[in-house]
Amino acid sequence: MKWIFPRGCFSSILQPVLLHSNPGRPVSCSTVFSSHKPRIPLHLRPPTSRATVADLKKWHIWAKNLVSSVGSTFLDLDNGPDSTLLQRELTWLVQDAFENPNKVSFQNSNDDDSVVSLRACLDDLYEMWKQRIEERRPFQYVVGCEHWRDLVLSVEEGVLIPRPETEMIVDLVNDAVNENEELRNGLWADLGTGSGSLAIGIGRILGDLGKVIATDLSPVAVSVASYNVQRYDLQDKIAVKQGSWFEPLKNVEGELAGLVSNPPYIPSDHIAGLQAEVAKHEPRLALDGGANGMNDLLHLCSGAVFMLKPGGFVAFETNGETQSKFLVEHMDTETKGSFHNVKIISDFAGFQRYVTGYKAR
């Protein structure tokens, strides 16, 4: 899915940043697990339903026609998906919903009476596709998962769908730990973990002694991240905690080998203009970075100085060039030379997306 943000339009007037406070949001001090029950992604549900090939063909024709009726409307409207992407999503829905997607080619079958096992009943398939097209519900929420790096992560409403550009932060961490074994076996934090994507990606490249604390303010994110961590059998390596930014890390001040975050960084008044999948369905808590989008980035950057041990590595994702430059300036001035080897790194599309650095020794 595209991640379409208006870029580079924020004011240079910044809010003061308070360490251990939450810029502009209600604060939760809880570090207990959420009671929210994560939704099981479609492809992992048991095949409890059956349908005839004839009924599936009928559904499929209806679903394809719905896509054709939309054409490029969403693309023209708000840079949303076009019919090529939607047709591809329909194929993925079939793959996730069928018990045996490789063996079933119902569209070409002449045996209309034969029966196929499904992970969702036919009525649900009609409803899912209606929601995708008519309500612009993101495909990832419809099927309950997103493919990210080599992971398949559970997602649902209330949790940001992890984006491809965030994948590169794991590579940046990999480079840092390859250069320094102390970092590989140290304690890391992923602040605002969402689905747990970064924490899991990093957890898998750390050494035997390396650990990750993944935090989020959202109880749904905490529950979904915990589910994903368990699915990848990393519960001994990754602790998921609920709370605002540094609160769940109070006990490890000055001990972190590394800290990463992809915080909310969209300027508040740009959110309504994003594609409907994002603006209507993804959690505002995951998107809204305040008036200029920088509230959380600056807060986290200032706090990182106190959380990292000397030589510790930090990586932030930003909206692009303007935010990255602003953050580097903040690291140079506000944190009074606490960081060295500060770099802006571009993503695969050429946007100056990441800011990395090391805490001075």
Ligand X SMILES: C[S@@+](CC[C@H](N)C(=O)[O-])C[C@H]1O[C@@H](n2cnc3c(N)ncnc32)[C@H](O)[C@@H]1O
Interface residues toward ligand X, by CB under 6 A: 22, 25, 160, 162, 166, 192-195, 197-198, 215-218, 221, 244-245, 262-264, 285-286
Distance CA(266)–CA(7), nearest Å, equals 9
Minimum distance, C-beta of residue 328 to ligand X, in the bound complex (Å): 20
Paired sense of beta strands 115-118 and 49-52, if any: antiparallel
Per DSSP, the three-state class of 9 is coil
* Residue 309 Cβ vs ligand X, minimum distance, rounded to whole Å: 22
Query: Least distance in Å: CB of 314 to ligand X?
Result: 15
Q: Which residue lies nearer to ligand X by CB, 59 or 245?
A: 245
Q: In the bound complex, what is the minimum distance in angstroms from residue 264's beta carbon to ligand X?
A: 5
Whole-number Å distance between alpha carbons of 154 and 231:
9
- Indicate the residue among 229 and 286 with the shorter CB distance to ligand X: 286
Choose between 186 and 263: whose C-beta lies nearer to ligand X.
263
CB 214 → ligand X: shortest distance, Å? Answer: 8
Least distance to ligand X, CB of residue 276, Å: 18
- Asked whether the beta carbons of 213 and 248 are under 8 A apart, the reply is yes
Cα–Cα distance for residue pair 284/265, rounded to 1 Å: 11
Question: Whose Cβ is closer to ligand X: residue 80's or residue 192's?
Answer: 192
The letter for the amino acid at 198 is L
Minimum distance between the CB of residue 101 and ligand X, rounded to whole angstroms?
27
Q: Residue for token digits 């990441």?
A: 354
In angstroms, rounded to a whole number, what is the distance separating the alpha carbons of residues 155 and 200? 14
Closer residue to ligand X in complex, CB, 215/302? 215
Residue 216 or 347 having the CB closest to ligand X: 216
Q: Which is nearer to ligand X, 20 or 25 (CB)?
A: 25
DSSP 186-228: SEEEEES-TTTHHHHHHHTTS-TT-EEEEEES-HHHHHHHHHH
Transcribe 43-91 into DSSP letters: GGS---EEEEHHHHHHHHHHHHHHHHHHTTHHHHHHS---HHHHHHHHH
- Min. distance of Cβ 285 from ligand X in angstroms? 4
Asked whether the CA dihedral 167, 168, 174, 176 is positive or negative, the reply is negative
- Give least dist CB 260 to ligand X, A: 8
Distance CA 63, CA 186 (A): 50
262-279 burial code (b ≥16 CB/10 A, e <16): bbbbbbbebbeebbbbbb
